[in-house]
Amino acid sequence: AAGGAYWVDSQQKRYVPVKGDHVIGIVTAKAGDVFKLDVGGSEQASLSYLAFEGATKRNRPNVQVGDLIYGQFLVANKDMEPEMVCIDSSGRSSGMGIIGQDGFLFKVSLGLIRKLLAPKCEIIQELSQLYPFELVLGMNGRIWVKAKTVQQTLIIVNILEACEYMTAEQRKQALAKFSGN
Amino acid sequence: FMQRGLDSQTKKLLEEEEKKIISEEHWYLDLPDLKEKESFIIEERSFMPCEDLLYGRMSFKGFNPEIEKLMIQMNSRCKEEEIEVDDKMEADVSDEEMARRYETLVGTIGKKFLRKRDQGVLQDEDEDGNSNTRPSKKAKKKFLKPQD
């Protein structure tokens, strides 16, 4: 519970890297020991190959250009290039790392991400009743979804994108249509 | 900067100049200390603590069991109060039984740390029937001079 914290909430689409935030990055380049990731900020973030759980100089993680990575910012200020890691302070990956094959990545506004990550989010609860799927939300406005079929995946994507502008009732109507499938 | 063949005098002059420059810097450094006041405002750039956001990786209906385990782990860090309440509810062993066992436990563990001589004393207390043999054994333990 935040005691005495004040914050300004505004609608934003452009992400600014913040230390400790978990984001989805796309690998754009591999430069020796370091990967360059696009996180939707003004600069690309760097990610060292040793910043994965159980990675050593001999045991390198299998990261290719175009892969999706879920990680957190180690360094993120306006003076330096942002750095990411896929490992937490105790050395465990705790869900971070390369996001698997298949699935669909799309972009939404930052406000929607915060709404979806709120402790009791109705959208997520309602969607979870539909069918099994996996979801990764990056604070940089990127969402990755994977379900059993392409059709199911696209349905979830469309609902999440439209949630920005739908009211709760419209959303329930839309979901009721699909729960029959 | 370091020139060979510098006279000792010129060296001293140079050192003194350096010291002057450094001491001036010292003066400069002192001033900011006086001006700094403790501010009670902490700036936090992330939204995570503000709205108590959940962990970003989620899985539903058993699509990815590892992530579902992770979800429980991550989100339980936020809700520690509920876990405490649960502990109070469940008690496999009642309080009375715990007290009884603990009483005897203290005795048995206490015996373990007694020295050998004291252990003999303890046994005396337990077995008064055999006390006749004990004093004679203790008498034997005294040093006996070897007879010529």
**pLDDT tens digits for range B33-52:** 555 566 677 777 777 777 77
**Residue B28 counted as domain residue:** no
Which domains are delineated in chain A? 21-98 (2.40.50.140), 104-179 (3.30.1370.10)
Which residues in chain A have their CB less than 8 angstroms from residue B63's CB?
Answer: 132-134, 146-148
B135 compared with A58, residue with greater pLDDT: A58
Which residues in chain B have their CB less than 8 angstroms from residue A137's CB?
Answer: 56-58
What's the whole-number mean pLDDT along residues B8-31?
Answer: 71
pLDDT higher than 80, residue B121: no
**Residue B23 counted as domain residue:** no
**pLDDT tens digits for range A50-95:** 999 888 888 888 899 999 999 999 988 888 999 999 998 888 888 8
pLDDT higher than 90, residue B20: no
Q: Is the pTM of this model over 0.80?
A: no
Q: Quote the CA–CA distance of A32 and B130 in Å, as a whole number.
A: 84
A6–chain B nearest CA distance, Å: 8
pLDDT value of position A23: 93
pLDDT value of position A1: 44
B67–chain A nearest CA distance, Å: 7
Q: Which residues lie below 8 Å from residue B4, measured CB to CB, with a gap of 6+?
A: none
Task: Check A7 against B59: CB less than 8 A apart.
Answer: no
What is this model's ipTM?
Answer: 0.77
**Residue B33 counted as domain residue:** no
**Residue B53 counted as domain residue:** yes
Q: Quote the CA–CA distance of A100 and A29 in Å, as a whole number.
A: 18
Q: At what angle do helices A168-179 and A122-130 cross, to 10 degrees?
A: 10
Task: Check B59 against A133: CB less than 8 A apart.
Answer: yes
Domain count, chain B: 1
Task: Check A146 against B63: CB less than 8 A apart.
Answer: yes
**Residue B17 counted as domain residue:** no
**Residue B104 counted as domain residue:** no
pLDDT value of position A121: 83
Q: Quote the CA–CA distance of B40 and A119 in Å, as a whole number.
A: 29
Phi and psi dihedrals of B141, rounded to 5? -70, -15
**Residue B64 counted as domain residue:** yes
pLDDT higher than 50, residue B86: no
B65–chain A nearest CA distance, Å: 10
pLDDT value of position A67: 92
Q: Which residues lie below 8 Å from residue A30, measured CB to CB, with a gap of 6+?
A: A36, A63, A64, A65
- Across chain A, mean pLDDT equals 87
**Residue B131 counted as domain residue:** no
Percent of chain B topping pLDDT 90 = 0
B76 compared with B130, residue with greater pLDDT: B76
pLDDT higher than 90, residue A24: yes
User: What residues make up the domain containing B66?
Assistant: 47-80
